[in-house]
Structure 1
């Protein structure tokens, strides 16, 4: 038997009293206890009046729960294989008054004990669930590597990983939520409107707990980042500045030390195999009409890595446990949108149900899924609307657009044939007809899993600026990765190489690149370039929701327009090795009667009655006058 499965079997058979000690469960002499109830609390007046409570305690299934509270009805009690769990279905009438709901547990021997479950009033004045759309600029932060605002939580006694080593890419470095809060004015000035943090839930794993993708709790912020209230404060501080908060969700897996993995409610809580089975990472089998069912099962049910057990989305308790936790964070903290990790590895029928439930509760909230796949149809199949005959509807508005990501790299680095180089970028965008709305897709140059774009383009500043100009002017929702504004570099080999600390984010740092004085001439040039484009975009709907028209590339020159009834912006990208002279009469259909344009970067006026001259590997962003 595989070592991981042996561990799982071991944890299932730990005596209840020892398990209580290992999980911090208050165990009484008679076994009467409730260690935890999740969700931690709930609210009256939610769109969906149904709620399922997970109740965990030593031998709790031996007791009969009872609820007597006006407006709250206990409709069903579910017992599962593990006697330490009960699942309680509640109906909460719209007229229910907030308060503490007593849950009385009656034993067959006549003894009883109780737990008070809090129903709160919804905060009518709390900003939340605004959605993240094409009028936003997203900034992605890995919290452990951005800024350390509270050194007192760098090491938390009792957690499995206590080492702090900024010289190692694998250990924690001490970045936290307070550090991010301290830098919000910096981000607002840069032109950022939405903040996406890699997961901040507790990751009580033995190693590499810094990245957040192996959660061991669903309702607790990792204490090394702060606490739940500080996460609420982060949302409030963002909203006060007119910015938004995106929560990174992981439906597919949890960490091996997640408390429900240490003592699973049932054998089918996780996707179990006779021996350890990894996913194949082959997304094609999801939509391949000729795929073997065995291949589909291994893709979706195989574990992502050995330390991240795969959740069984066919289990109805798993589905509710996951979904309710996400709704809880929106209502509690004021989350505005979601990024969905490893989307192709989830059971798509569950994800469709999840999407419907989220939209029913929060109609304005939006979400986008990570789809690291190859090919436009492979990516579009995961978006809502069943637009390419995939025969299912995911109800997912948009995706992380890996196809344009690959294409912009090739556009700036590739050769100049009809099917490669910048022609690939043109062709990828020409396929936007397969989406219900491609403007919902998130476009990016790099992220926490990909090589830094500055390195991808050989640290060529002109290429780098061209990529940034494209990012801020193409269709979709642009996403910057922290440090892009100071041209941070490195290749993702391994991925820890692109998860460096932002210089100046730690009290001991000798240089502070959050400030103009701390940046080099090159870094300030890149910073101002991004700042100019991002703030122009933030102030001009033409680059947010404006229509797009692109022209077939000629001689390595790619031209496209963003336009609405008020403005037209012309983007001219020369991806060639030589200076280009461009006859603008070809673009008369969109230029129309305009004879002048303003260069958005430097404010200079450009004459459109003469040929445009553009340096090699450079891009001009021009507002027609």
Structure 2
């Protein structure tokens, strides 16, 4: 019996030890939790580090990884530490420069939004502390709706649109202090507030989205107005305003049901970018060694410029040296070519795009010079964005008149090399060129409207024609009125056709008032002329109509009617397209969706001409009443239709 009592005592003692151990463990864990809670909920905000980018982040992404760029004198000798529930440092990367660290963080699915300190420690030195914030997302990823074929996009060069705040026209601390409206290549003073103040005008015309040329800081000694030589990817250029202004623009667009498209540049930065004075790695930009070892004989980038041989991206016979000459060359000597093959540069660029989508509630991205960066990186970039935001959209600039090259860049195209760009919307420079050529040429066999007809017939090569962006002109080419040699009627036909196609249309500011560059066609300073009425003292005001010619007012009214009809037209947004080969100087196209049929007729005959309607019997309009969208008059579709003058006739079966 004593033997059993002894065993029972031993078991009790073991049980006591287990309970005691568990209790100690719980107390220890509780103490650690309290310490962690204290660290995350009660601390003094500090910004000891010169630069950490991204500036903040969010919880709830599909990708739990975040890479922080840390820039501070000799920061590589310091050890970072984070105590915040759900956030862990997975890896610390030292760079070639001692002034950088790259921190790989993991943000778990359960992480709560909040602020925490990143503590940098070094033996014998007081800690450096930088407060970082993880925010909650303002809406779900699925609710970020990108532009599509239901939209009509208004492109703005902000320095040339409207100046609402003259006080920020010149910033004394910046390198370019020019302000001269008579100089096409100096700054003119347009700003974000100027766009905000005229949103009613843009909406009233019938546009549903705005694409502004880049608004980020371009602290360059000259030519800084255009925005494409970025020197800080996380800062709005103070001559355009502040990030508060940019967010106000986004908010007011959203309130109107409109979208904000951000112009981004992954291929290059400005040569005055802050990192050009302290590269993180030896391969941060292409031809970096030549740049760093330059002397007075460098000749502003001799032998490092891109070849512009864009077909090397698709050419199955292209040599490696030609590929490198294209993708690794600098765009111009003032714009260093970023090396996206460096994984840290790649991550930086992707995270920057996501940061702006979340921060500014973007409705799309326009990516500049799309075929110039490393194409595999661009696929990764677009793929990661679209993975996070499945209903978003990106348009990429590929300036080519070859539909095969345009098709190559569209997502899911059956490319021979297996490449998938993940890009939903390339640009249709090919169609733009054919529209201009077809309208300007006389009607003979194989020329004139047949050029446009054949161009649209090439849509068989595209995965999704309605996701391609088409336009009459943009900030880099002559105005459409100039391309049409001053013909108002041809300009109208070009615009109505573009707005009826199975495409996403984009128009440049001022097209609605026949802005032109007749004096020097193609000159960027003239192409980007100030919008009249955007500056105090302008004698002509296109926003109110004051001082406009009758032709300019007529063009405004013309576009307003088409754009506002288009806004509500399912047939134009997603309907079937049927067109008939041009005959006798007439080209007819139909857009069809259920009971809505839109008829677009272009006619080059200056004298009245009869259009026989029997040829279009398959469309099923015989005996129906249609309304002229431009004149609001009704016509009967029966036997013949008389075209009284050269130009566009636009009809619809919608009578209400």
TM-score by length of 2: 0.88
**In the alignment, structure 1 residue 443 sits paired with structure 2 residue 470:** yes
| Alpha-carbon offset, residue 110 of structure 1 | 4.7
State the distance in 1 between where 2:378 and 2:473 align.
26
User: What does residue 581 of structure 1 align with?
Assistant: 610
Q: Match of 2:235, SS?
A: coil
Distance 1:329 1:211, change over 3 A: same
CA gap 1:167/1:404 in 2 versus in 1, 3 angstroms? same
In 2 relative to 1, CA 368–126 (structure 1 residues): closer, same or farther, beyond 3 Å?
A: closer
Give the counterpart of 1:511 among 537, 540, 551: 540
Alignment match of 2:228 (pick from 186, 205, 213): 213
Offset, 1:125: 8.7
Distance 2:640 2:310 in 1: 47
Tell me the equivalent position of 1:620.
649
- 2:582 is paired with a residue of what secondary structure? coil
1:281 alignment counterpart: 308
Does residue 150 (structure 1) correspond to residue 179 (structure 2)? The answer is no
Aligned position for 1:196: 211
SS of residue matched to 1:264? coil
3-state SS in 1 of match to 2:216: coil
Aligned to 2:324: 297
In the TM superposition, what is the alpha-carbon distance from 1:276 to its structure 2 partner?
3.7
After TM superposition, give the deviation of residue 404 of structure 1 in Å.
Answer: 0.8
For the residue of structure 2 that corresponds to 1:358, the secondary structure is helix
2:504 equivalent to 1:477: yes
Q: If the length of structure 1 is used for normalisation, what is the TM-score?
A: 0.92
> What is the CA-CA distance between 1:414 and the residue it aligns to?
1.7
Question: Once the 2 structures are TM-superposed, how far is the Cα of residue 450 of structure 1 from its aligned partner?
Answer: 1.0
Against the structure 1 CA distance between its residues 288 and 125, is the aligned structure 2 distance closer, same or farther, given a 3 Å change threshold? closer
In structure 1, C-alpha distance between the alignment counterparts of 2:445 and 2:416, rounded to whole Å:
29
Q: In the alignment, what sits opposite 1:243? A: 258
Q: 8 Å contact 1:323–1:354 — kept in the other structure?
A: yes
- Alignment of 1:361 onto 2:388: yes
How far did 1:580 drift? 3.7
Match of 2:278 in 1: 263
Aligned pairs for 1:224-623 within 5 A: 224-272=239-287, 274=290, 276-490=303-517, 492-576=521-605, 579-615=608-644, 617-623=646-652
Describe the superposition over 1:83-117 as per-residue Cα deviations: whole angstroms up to 9, x where unpaired.
11100000011221222221111113353221111
- The CA deviation string for residues 417-471 of structure 1, in whole angstroms up to 9 with x for no partner, is 4443221211111111211101001110011011111111121111111111112
Distance 2:391 2:426 in 1: 17
Q: RMSD of the TM alignment (CA)? A: 1.7
SS in 2 for 1:218: strand
Asked whether the equivalents of residues 149 and 175 of structure 1 are also in contact (C-alpha less than 8 Å), the reply is yes
Q: State the shift of 1:33 in Å.
A: 5.5
In structure 1, C-alpha distance between the alignment counterparts of 2:511 and 2:238, rounded to whole Å: 28
Q: Does the 8 Å contact 1:579/1:615 carry over to 2?
A: yes
Deviation, structure 1 residue 281: 1.3
Please give the secondary structure, in 1, of the residue aligned with 2:431. Answer: helix
Q: Distance in 2 between matches of 1:477 and 1:493?
A: 24
1:191-210 Cα offsets, whole Å, 9 max, x none, are 01000000000000000100
Is the contact between residue 477 and residue 522 of structure 2 (CA under 8 Å) also seen in structure 1? Answer: no
CA distance in 2, matches of 1:276, 1:177: 38
Alignment of 1:125-144 (within 5 A): 129-144=144-159
Secondary structure of the corresponding residue to residue 345 of structure 1: coil
C-alpha distance in structure 1 between counterparts of 2:535 and 2:406, whole Å: 39
Counterpart CA distance in 2 for 1:33 and 1:188 is 45
Q: In the alignment, what sits opposite 2:132?
A: 117
Q: Which moved more, 1:504-513 or 1:232-241?
A: 504-513
Relative to structure 1, is the Cα distance of residues 55 and 449 closer, same or farther in structure 2, using a 3 angstrom cutoff?
same
Shift of 1:591: 3.6
Deviating above 4 A after TM superposition, structure 1's stretches of 4 or more consecutive aligned residues are: 125-128, 576-579
Change (3 A) 1:521 1:232: same
Aligned to 1:48: 63
Contact 1:232 1:333 in 2 (8 A): yes
Distance of 1:95 and 1:435 partners within structure 2: 42
Q: Distance in 2 between matches of 1:126 and 1:399?
A: 23
User: 2:8 matched to which residue of 1?
Assistant: none
Deviations 1:133-167 (A, max 9, x none): 00001000000000011111111120000111111
SS of the equivalent of 2:172 reads coil
Alpha-carbon distance, 1:249 to partner: 1.0
Alpha-carbon contact 1:404-1:425 (below 8 Å) kept: yes
- 2:293 aligns with none
Match of 2:111 in 1: 96
Alignment: residue pair count: 594
Q: Residue 72 and residue 195 in structure 1: after superposition, are their counterparts in 2 closer, same or farther (change >3 A)?
A: same
Distance 1:211 1:369 in 2: 18
Query: Comparing 95-104 with 234-243, which one deviates more in the overlay?
Result: 95-104
| Counterpart Cα distance in 1 of 2:246 and 2:141 | 14
> Contact 2:576 / 2:591 at 8 angstroms: preserved in 1?
yes
Secondary structure (helix, strand or coil) at the match of 1:553 reads strand
Which digits, 9 at most, give the CA deviation of each residue in 1:480-518, with x for residues without a partner? 100011111115432221100000001121221111334
> CA 1:419–1:393 in structure 2 vs 1: closer, same or farther (change >3 Å)?
farther
Q: Given that residues 260 and 362 in structure 2 are in contact (C-alpha distance below 8 angstroms), is that contact kept between their aligned partners in structure 1?
A: yes
Alignment check: 8 A CA contact 2:614 2:639 kept: no
Where 1:163 maps in the other structure, the secondary structure is: coil
Distance (Å, rounded) in 2 between the aligned partners of 1:485 and 1:592: 32
Worse-matched range after superposition: 145-154 or 592-601: 592-601
CA contact (8 A) 2:54 2:68 kept: yes
